[in-house]
Structure 1
Amino acid sequence: MPEWGPARLEPAKIRRLAEDIENPTAALNFLGDFLSMLPGRITRILDTLAERDAKRAMDATLSLKITSAMTGAVEAESYCRRIESLIRCGAFEEATETAQVLHGIVTTLMVAGPSLLLDARSDLQGFEAQPSRQEPAV
């Protein structure tokens, strides 16, 4: 089994989420929910791949891919993209092998979760929502 490097999130993604929803607390809550749901999400991917259920495996993979993208879990997002492509080709064995690598990445994120949340909280300190741009009156 490969050794995993330190878990990382792309800080710009959480900042962008906080800006988009104009609420840093909600962005941090979303990140916390993402981290707490990782065990169930990776289990669902692995189980549906083992069952060769393309529809449910794709649904599980897309769910993790989208939330990974929103939270800055770039490596997890990248592996989800690979799995998505493999499912589309019907390559379940290779998709399962790739999902095992994803499992390792997800595990490092889960272990580092508290530290990742602290880093994100620190990064968002002093955040102020930018005023929304008003369209000029016509």
Structure 2
Amino acid sequence: MTAVVTFDEAALRRISDEVDDRHFVWLFARRYRQLLIGRVSRITAALQRQDEDAALDAVLSLKVTSATVGAGELAALAAGLEDDVRRSDLAAARLRAGRLWPAAQRADRALETYLAG
């Protein structure tokens, strides 16, 4: 099993190079942090309600934004959750979702450090 990196700052450097605007990237990463708790909460709430459509929407949002910002661990967890939900295996999804909060905290701390630098 390959270890997934919590945060890869190279993702943000690539965006910065592409848009040639470091401030935009800083704002994007900051906004990601502000929305992170809400994204994780939406997933867990939807899974508790057994609302597959809402869970899938929330999982896809977390997966795409996490991959974009370089939060690899969260992107990988969200990809696994996506598979669980698409298979209608909400029990497996709820089990996997239990790993979201610790991973979100690690990603948040890593981004905080990156943004402070």
SS at match of 1:84: helix
The residue aligned with 1:84 is 82
Cross-structure match for 2:51: 53
Task: Please give the residue correspondences for 1:1-138 in structure 2 after superposition, counting only pairs within 5 Å.
Answer: 8-119=6-117
Please give the alpha-carbon distance, in whole angstroms, between the structure 2 residues aligned to 1:90 and 1:64. Answer: 19
Secondary structure in structure 2 of the residue aligned to 1:10: coil
Deviation at 1:113, TM superposition (A): 4.1
Q: How many residues align?
A: 113
Identity score, percent: 27
Offset at residue 49 of structure 1 (A): 0.8
Give distance in 2, aligned partners of 1:8 and 1:63: 18
RMSD of aligned C-alpha atoms? 1.5
Query: Normalising by the residue count of structure 1, what TM-score does the alignment of the two structures yield?
Result: 0.76
Distance 1:108 1:99 in 2: 15
Q: 2:11 is matched by which residue type in structure 1?
A: K
Structure number with bigger Rg: 1
Structure with the bigger percentage of helix: 2
Runs (5+) with no aligned partner, structure 2:
none
In structure 2, do the counterparts of structure 1 residues 16 and 113 end up closer, same or farther at CA, with 3 Å as the change threshold?
closer
- Structure 2 distance, partners of 1:110, 1:14, is 14
Letter in 2 for 1:80: A
